[in-house]
Amino acid sequence: MIRSIKIAHVVACTAGMLEGSILQTLKDAHRSGQSNKPPLNFGVYYKNTLVALCHALEDAILAADYQPLMITAFQRGKWYLQEADRYAEIADRSRQVVILAAPETGFAEHPTSQKSNVALVSLDQADPVAQEWHLIIVSPNYMAMVLCQELSDADYGAAGLPNQDLERKFYGFWTFEPNLVLETAELAIAHVARYNPDLQQRLSQQINEIATLSHSESALCGLPTIDHMGEIVSRVIDYLQTNQESGIRSQGLAITSQSFLDDNLISNELQAYLRVAQLIDQTDLSNPMAAVEVATLAEAIGQLLDLPAWQLHRLRLAGLLHRIAFLQATETVLSSGTSSRYQDETPSIPLTCPLVPGVQVLRRMQRLRAAATILAHQTEWWNGSGQPAGLVGDEIPIESRILGLVADFQTHLAHFRSAQVNAGAPVDMGDLLTQALTGCRAQQGDRWDPKLIETLGLLISALQQGFELPIALPKIASGLWLLDSRSEEELLAYSPQSHTVTKE
C-alpha cells in the first residue's frame, strides 16, 4: 500500500507552570488533540540571554517607524526601573506601551511612566503574571514576542536557586509568528481587564485595528525579506554575541556556569534563523512544510550514501534553513503581485559568489559557516552553468548537490500535491512522487548529479512500496545538537578580491 509522508509534531516537556498565567493559558489553548492550533515548543532561557534577546527585539522599534502596540511584563517594578530610560525612547516610537509589574518605590513616579502613551498596570503580588517575563510587540509591519515564566524553587531541583542573577532561568519561548503574537496580545489585554477595564477596551480596539492591517498583502509582519527580517535577525545575533563575549566573562562566573550560558546564547542564535525559516514557510500557503520535508529527504539521501553523522547533521540543518538563501528585498517581493511569495526557488538574477544576500545573513554566526557554504552553492549545476560560482561536477560540495536536488524535487511534489487538492481530486502520493522524480530526471547530467538521481530514485521506490519517512517538525528551542566542531569548517576557499572560489 502506498503511504504518504506523515507529519509528527514534536513538543518539549513542560516545567511546572502557574495556573492563570498568560503562558499557561496560551499552552492550554494549544494543547495537542484539543484544538487545531499547533502545539508550542518550549525551552529554558538564562536571564542574560533574555536581556540580550529583548534588547535586540526592542531596538528594532527604534530603528524603524513601526509604531507598535507593545505589552511587557517585568515581574517587579525594580526591573522596569532599570529599563525605564530606554523605554522613554521606545515610547516615542510606539503607538502604546503597556507595562505590567508588581509595584515598588519609584515605579509610578519615573518620567517615562508619565508619558501619555505609557500605561502602568500594577500587578498583585499573588498574580501569576508577576512571575512572568513578557515582551509582546504588535504592528502590521513587525511582530515579535518573548513569553517566559521564571522557574520555581522546585524546578531548580537539588542544585537550588542560582547565586548569580544572570543564571536565573526562565521557561517559555519566543517567536516572530504573527498569528501567535496576536493571540498572546489578546490574552494579555484580557488579563489587564481585571485591573483597568477602560484600558482593556482601548487596547482591544487597537489590537483589532492592527490585526486587520496585518492581514493585508503589503504588511511586512508576514513578509520575510533580506532588508526586513534579515536586519532584525542580524541584530539578534549581534546582541547575543556581544553579550557572550563581554557580558558573561565580566561577571566572574564559574567555568561550568559560563559554559551553560554560552550554550544558551548559541542556541538562541540558531533559533533566530530557524524562526525566520519557519516564518518563510508559514507565508507560503502552497508549500508550508518545505523546510522540514527538504531536511528529512536530504538526510535520508545522505544515509543511503552512508555519509557520516556530522555530515547528516549539516544536511538536516541546511535543509531547515535552505529558503533563507532566497530572501529578496522588500520592494522586489511587494512588486511581484503573487499570492504565494516563495513559489519560485530560483534566484531571479545571477548571484555573485560568495555574496548571496540571504547566505550573508547566515554567515554572521560563525557556527553556521559550513551550512552557509552549502546553501550558497545549492544552485550550482552539474555541467558548470549554474550560479553563483559555476562549479562543475564533484567541485560542488556533496551536501549542496543533495540539497539542491531535494529542494527541487520537493518543490515539484508540493506543486503537484497542491494542484490535486485544488482540483478536488484524491491525492495519490505514489503518482505525485513519480511525477516529481520525472521532473528531476529530465535534467540529469545537466543540472543534477546522475548518481544522486539514482539514489533519489531508490528512495522514492522505497516510499512507494510502503516505507514511511516521518516528517517531524523541528524542536526549535533545542536544536543545538545539530552543531559540532565541524560546523565552522569552510568547504570552499573564497577570494574576496575576485569573488572566486576554489576547492579545498
pLDDT digits (tens, 9 = 90+) for 218-232: 899 988 888 888 889
Q: How many percent of the chain have pLDDT more than 70?
A: 84
Q: What is the pTM of this model?
A: 0.82
Per-domain boundaries in the chain: 18-222, 285-503
pLDDT of 123 > 80? The answer is: yes
Cell 508559514 sits on residue = 282
E strand or H helix at 43, and its extent? strand 43-46
What's the pLDDT score for residue 352?
Answer: 40
Please give the Cα distance from 67 to 491 (Å, whole number). 43
Angle between helices 429-441 and 450-464 (to 10 degrees): 170
pLDDT-based confidence at 244, cuts 50/70/90? low
What's the pLDDT score for residue 344?
Answer: 41
CATH number for the region 18-222 comes to: 3.30.870.10
Please give the Cα distance from 298 to 290 (Å, whole number). 12
Please give the Cα distance from 325 to 231 (Å, whole number). 14
pLDDT-based confidence at 16, cuts 50/70/90? low
E strand or H helix at 493, and its extent? strand 492-495
Name which of 170, 167, 85, 92 is nearest 135 in CA terms.
170
Angle between helices 178-192 and 22-29 (to 10 degrees): 130
What's the pLDDT score for residue 222?
Answer: 85
| Helix, coil or strand: residue 12 | coil
What's the pLDDT score for residue 21?
Answer: 93
| Helix, coil or strand: residue 3 | coil
Per residue in 257-296, pLDDT tens? Answer: 566 667 777 888 888 899 899 889 888 888 989 999 999 9
CATH number for the region 285-503 comes to: 1.10.3210
pLDDT-based confidence at 1, cuts 50/70/90? very low
| Helix, coil or strand: residue 503 | strand
Q: For residue 440, what are the contacts with CB-CB under 8 A and spacing of at least 6?
A: 405, 408, 409, 412, 448, 453, 456
Please give the Cα distance from 319 to 369 (Å, whole number). 14
| Helix, coil or strand: residue 504 | coil
Name which of 115, 130, 53 is nearest 84 in CA terms.
115
Per residue in 440-450, pLDDT tens? Answer: 999 999 999 99
Cell 508550508 sits on residue = 288
Longest dimension (CA), the chain: 73
Neighbouring C-beta atoms of residue 255, cutoff 10 Å: 7
* Averaged pLDDT score across all residues of the chain: 84
> Residues in the chain, how many?
504
More confident residue, 346 or 116: 116
